[in-house]
Amino acid sequence: MMTKTRRAGITAIGAYAPSKVLSNDDLSKFMDTSDEWISTRTGIRRRHVAADDEFTADLAVSAIKDMQRRYGEAVLEGVDMVIVATNTPDAYFPSTAAMVQDYFGLKAGAFDLLAACPGWVYALSVAQAYVESGICKKVLAIGAEALTKIIDWNDRSTAVLFGDGAGATLVEAVEEPFGIKSMILGADGAGGKHLHAKAVGKCLLDGTKLGEHVYMNGSEVFKFAVRVMKTSTVEAIEQAGLKTEDISLFVPHQANLRIINAARERLELAEDKVVVTVDEYGNNSTASIPLALCHALDGGRIHAGDNLLLVSFGAGLTWAASVLTWGGGKK
């Protein structure tokens, strides 16, 4: 007797962005920049900034509350693992995930995952493995960032790019044709010198010194991003057994509009098949894609059966791409 393949999918989602907003004009009041300088280079016009007493765990909790608002409080029943992908944990330990687990009183395992901006897609891959192997039934995969707390507000090359926010997704078994159809994960540690932030070390293994704030070699990261956005998405589409024309919506990491447009053009996708939120939120790192997914859902752009193409890139250097067929839950 043949057994049906167990496939994991996203069945619920929620997102949160802090109420405080900094526009490009606001930034121009205390640094040498302008709306024209920022928007023409990045596509960013605003970013949401966590309050002084608001941190990554708070953002994650708010995203899950939004999920409960959309699907009902019972949506968390049976969750047996919590994963928080973040580059800005409240503490090295306890994990941000453990704080979230305790807040909602979940009888679940919990751990943080650090893979830079692709972290949420990495977390989605771990959740997929847990569900499809039968280790877990319901996994919360969360991306949450308080990046504005670790940037140098005197460095316009990085300060203008980042914003804070969180996105939460529930992953569990779904029936065909829904669910995660492909997962591509990659890393090139030799590129770590181009994008980094200090923790407890003084330097990388290659001797690159670590500073107190985020450092980015913009031109090198741009070239890397454009390349892997194309190669990883093509690989993800092929692994899913699909063609580019089968993709209903492209949901990329929201780091830079020029990078998004370059990837879209290389994939030969129409503009109306791409989700763009970088103008409103800036770069939210791990929270970027789930925030964009919620934005598209609320705009009526995602429907059951749609094939969604996700891709992200970041420090490490790391990248991740996935194709999933939306369904198994309602907005």
Q: Is 2 exposed, middle or buried (0-12, 13-18, 19+ CB in 10 A)?
A: exposed
Number of Cβ within a 10 Å radius of residue 173? 17
Cα of 247 vs its chain's centroid, Å: 19
Q: Is 279 exposed, middle or buried (0-12, 13-18, 19+ CB in 10 A)?
A: middle
117 flagged as catalytic: yes
Does residue 277 contact residue 251 with C-beta atoms inside 8 Å?
no
Q: Vertex 32, ends 31 and 35: CA angle to 5°?
A: 95
Which two structure tokens, joined as six digits, stand for 14?
């929620």
Q: Which of 48, 194, 196, 253 is catalytic?
A: 253
CA neighbor of 88 nearest in space, from 7, 148, 21:
148
CA dihedral angle for residue 162, residue 42, residue 263, residue 270, rounded to 10 degrees: 110
196 flagged as catalytic: no
Q: Which of 24, 87, 256, 283 is catalytic?
A: 283
| DSSP string computed for 87-111 | SS-S-SSS-HHHHHHHHTT--SEEE
194 flagged as catalytic: no
Q: Where are the alpha helices (DSSP H) in 152-307?
A: 156-159, 218-239, 257-267, 278-281, 288-298
- Which H helix or E strand runs over 128? helix 119-133
Q: Which of 117, 136, 284, 295 is catalytic?
A: 117
Which two structure tokens, joined as six digits, stand for 149?
């707390």
The residues assigned a catalytic role are 117, 253, 283
